[in-house]
Chain A
Amino acid sequence: NAGVTQTPKFQVLKTGQSMTLQCAQDMNHEYMSWYRQDPGMGLRLIHYSVGAGITDQGEVPNGYNVSRSTTEDFPLRLLSAAPSQTSVYFCASSYRRLTSGNTIYFGEGSWLTVV
């Protein structure tokens, strides 16, 4: 099935633990990105990638790490979880060029709670 797959959907972490949020797409999209959503702040960009082997920081990159070894996968790593990283995380992907026939696809979101 075409689309963006995010796992896990729910996760509870203890402060200091590390974990990886997985994101995969099967549409051969060049662009992939991670956002976090906090109340009253909309979605903010954490990291993004314009192709395999190329990543860059977004608006709120601290405490997160990414890599893009393949076109399909773009995992987000929390290095040492903090309560401030409690949020809903979204992965998104798209072609470099948007046309009338394509759009930006979002995963279903991952709820992360750090206690």
Chain B
Amino acid sequence: AQTVTQSQPEMSVQEAETVTLSCTYDTSESDYYLFWYKQPPSRQMILVIRQEAYKQQNATENRFSVNFQKAAKSFSLKISDSQLGDAAMYFCAYRNPLRSNTGKLIFGQGTTLQVKP
């Protein structure tokens, strides 16, 4: 069974600095999706970035980028120029490959990010 692990329950960063959130996963599949979701206190689930496993290039969305290491099964999120609005819970998630036909998302335990002014 696939699993997703976020080993950092809490992280903090100074405003304008860079922080990296870690995520590792376990799967025997070669094709899959990986996601980072942001959850502010409102509990809304906001997609930050996603990565297709078949793409070697790391995904980037403005100040957010990932370091995708497929062989190591690692998927870290880097937030550059951190802003107060980045403070939230961040979840790493894995989605079953297309052919398994289930669409299930498997989530890590989450990392709470604090941004200090």
Task: Flag if A58 contacts B109 (CB, 8 Å).
Answer: no
Q: Could you say which of B42, B47, B109 contacts A41, with CB atoms under 8 Å apart?
A: B109
Shortest distance between the CB of A50 and any CB in chain B (Å): 6
Q: What B residues does A98 contact at CB under 8 A?
A: 33, 95
Chain A residues within an 8 Å CB radius of B33: 98
Contact B103 A94 (CB under 8 A): yes
CB of A90 closer than 8 Å to a CB of B:
yes
Task: Please classify the interface of chain A as helix (H, G, I), strand (E, B), loop, or mixed, using the class held by over half of its residues.
Answer: strand
Please report the total number of B residues contacting A with Cβ < 8 Å. Answer: 25
- Partner of A50 from the list B91, B102, B105 (CB cut-off 8 Å) is B102
Q: Which of B6, B44, B47 contacts A104 (CB 8 A)?
A: B47
Q: How far does the Cβ of B12 sit from chain A's closest Cβ, in whole Å?
A: 18
Contact at A106–B110, with CB atoms within 8 Å? no
Whether, in the assembled complex, A108 has its beta carbon less than 8 Å from a beta carbon of chain B, the answer is yes
Does B104 interact with chain A (Cβ within 8 Å)? Answer: yes
Q: Is the CB of A33 within 8 A of B110?
A: no
In the complex, B72 has a CB within 8 A of chain A: no
CA distance A9 to B35 in the complex (A): 25
- Scoring A residues 45 to 77 as 1 if CB is less than 8 Å from chain B, else 0, what string do you get? 100101000001010000000000000000000
Chain B residues closer than 8 Å to A45, beta-carbon distance = 104-106
Q: Is B28 an interface residue (CB 8 A)?
A: no
Q: Provide the A65-107 mask, 1 if CB < 8 A to any CB of B, else 0.
A: 0000000000000000000000010101010111000011010
Q: Is the CB of A42 within 8 A of B103?
A: no
6 A-B residue pairs with Cβ-Cβ distance under 8 Å, sorted by A, are A31-B103, A48-B103, A98-B33, A98-B95, A104-B105, A109-B43
